[in-house]
Structure formats: C-alpha cells, structure tokens
Amino acid sequence: MSGREEDNFELPVQEVSAACEAILFASGEPVSISALSEILNMDASVIRQALDKLISEYTNDPWGGLLIRKVDDSYVMCTKPGMKKVLERLFMPKSKPPLSQASYETLSVIAYNQPVTRTQVEAVRGVSSDSIIARLLDRGWIKEAGTLDAPGRPTLFETTQQFLLEFGIDSVEDLPSMELMSYKTIRDLEDSLEKAAGNDRQITIDNIIEQNRKEKAESETKEAENDAKYD
C-alpha cells in the first residue's frame, strides 16, 4: 500500500476552492480531476463544484488577467485572451513566426482525422508534409500518438491539450465541422473538402481520397472520349 493511501489527510470543504487554485497555479499545466481527487483525498464531485465556482469567479472578474479552463477532464490556469498582445510583448524575443496557410491546412487534416499518419495527411494535401508536421510538433499543437499496425509501423499524430487551449476548444469532440476553415487560412482547400464530405460537412480521409479517384476517373474518361472523336 502506497504512502498516499495510508495517510489520513483531510481538508475542510471550505478550503477546497483555495486548494484547487493553488494546485493549478503551482502546476502550470492541466491537472486531471482524478489527480486533484488523489491529492486532496476528496470526492471528485466536490472538487468539480469548487472548480465550477472558481471558473465563474475568474471569468466574471473584470480586473483579473487569468482564467481557469476545463480541457477534456482536466483543469488549467491560463491567461485571458485579451492579454495576448501584452504577453506577445513579454515574449517578443522568443516569439515564433506565424504559421503558413499550408501549416493550418495540415493541422486541420490532423484535427479532423486523428490519429492520422504522415502518409494519410499527404494523401489529402497531395504534397510532402514532413517539415510542416515538424513545425506543428515544435509548436506543441500536435504530438506522436503511437504507431499504426501496418507495414513500416508509421507514426500516428494527434492534437494536444495545447491545441485545445490556444483554439479555445474544451475537447476535440466539441470541434464543429469545418471549424478551422473559419480562420480563412486554407480557403483553397475548403471547396474540395466540403464537396468530398457531402451534406454532413465532415472531413474524412477516405471520402476525400474516394472523391479524388472519382474525379480522376471522370477526367480520364472524358479525355478518352475526346481522343476517340479524332481517331
């Protein structure tokens, strides 16, 4: 039996909010409900209530520059979006250049099809994505998520909690169809994705590849018919 299971740590209910606030501040990264429950030796439902109260207080405080946000089943203390310009000045010497349209295009393919391999991403984009995926990894928006059970064991990629935080999304399940398209960074791809997805507007690799095959087949058929006219 571990030391934590043996201790009899008890925290007064009225101090749960303060304890959660202190933990999130000290952690600097998302902390899961299960971890908070273990640390505080308290039922998760009580902790959720305390965190909901904190979230409301931070959100409605016009004088504060911080928020507490729920990301999947974890919570994190972060800065308010309105502080972006101030923080850019703080980190100006280390600021990263803005991502290109191709980078957002690659990110959207990964976000809507995760986990996905490099080859699958390139099947949609039609060009090599090695350097772009490396930049997205460096940015912290995607991460390696194991390997695919296929020849060569290709690496799988998926989005990160950092991606959710920076795009203001609580969970990938909450990502609306075509959400990234609203940034108008990949508008050249939007029409083909929407056409391939059909009425549900959901991006899927299989649909896109199948649509491309059909279009190619139709084009080859028309060319053959035109050639036959002149034979």
Number of domain units in the chain: 2
Can you tell me the mean pLDDT for 25-33? Answer: 92
Judge whether residue 207 has pLDDT over 70: no
The answer to whether residue 223 is domain-embedded is no
- Quote the pLDDT of residue 95: 52
pLDDT band (50, 70, 90) for residue 94: low
The answer to whether residue 136 is domain-embedded is yes
- Quote the pLDDT of residue 19: 95
Residues 211, 110 share a domain: yes
Residues 109, 74 share a domain: no
Judge whether residue 196 has pLDDT over 60: no
Q: For residue 106, give every residue at least 6 positions away whose Cβ sits within 8 Å of its Cβ, in sequence order, or none.
A: 121, 125, 129, 132, 133, 136
Other beta carbons within 10 angstroms of residue 36's beta carbon come to 23
The answer to whether residue 88 is domain-embedded is no
pLDDT band (50, 70, 90) for residue 168: confident
- What is the 3 state secondary structure string of 63-118? CCCEEEEEECCEEEEEECHHHHHHHHHHCHHHCCCCCCHHHHHHHHHHHHHCCEEH
The SS3 of residue 25 is helix
Residues 169, 212 share a domain: yes
pLDDT band (50, 70, 90) for residue 177: low
- 60's tokens: 């409605």
- What gap in Å lies between CA 109 and CA 116, rounded to an integer? 8
Q: Please give the residue range of the domain that contains residue 54.
A: 10-81
- Residue of 113, 101, 117, 120 whose CA lies nearest to 172: 113
The answer to whether residue 95 is domain-embedded is no
Judge whether residue 50 has pLDDT over 50: yes
The answer to whether residue 1 is domain-embedded is no
Residues 159, 120 share a domain: yes
Residues 212, 111 share a domain: yes
The answer to whether residue 3 is domain-embedded is no
Higher pLDDT, residue 65 or 7:
65
Residues 176, 133 share a domain: yes
Residues 115, 196 share a domain: yes
- Quote the pLDDT of residue 185: 35
Per-residue model confidence as pLDDT tens digits over 99-126: 788 888 888 888 888 888 988 888 888 8
The answer to whether residue 86 is domain-embedded is no
Judge whether residue 221 has pLDDT over 90: no
Residues 203, 137 share a domain: yes
**What's the CATH number where 35 sits?**
1.10.10.10
- Quote the pLDDT of residue 23: 95
Judge whether residue 78 has pLDDT over 80: yes
Please calculate the CA angle 112-113-119 and round it to the nearest 5 degrees: 130
- 19's tokens: 């304890």
Higher pLDDT, residue 182 or 218:
218
Residues 113, 65 share a domain: no
Higher pLDDT, residue 174 or 93:
174
- Residue of 142, 75, 49, 141 whose CA lies nearest to 66: 75
Residues 28, 112 share a domain: no
The answer to whether residue 87 is domain-embedded is no
Residues 202, 121 share a domain: yes
Residues 200, 108 share a domain: yes
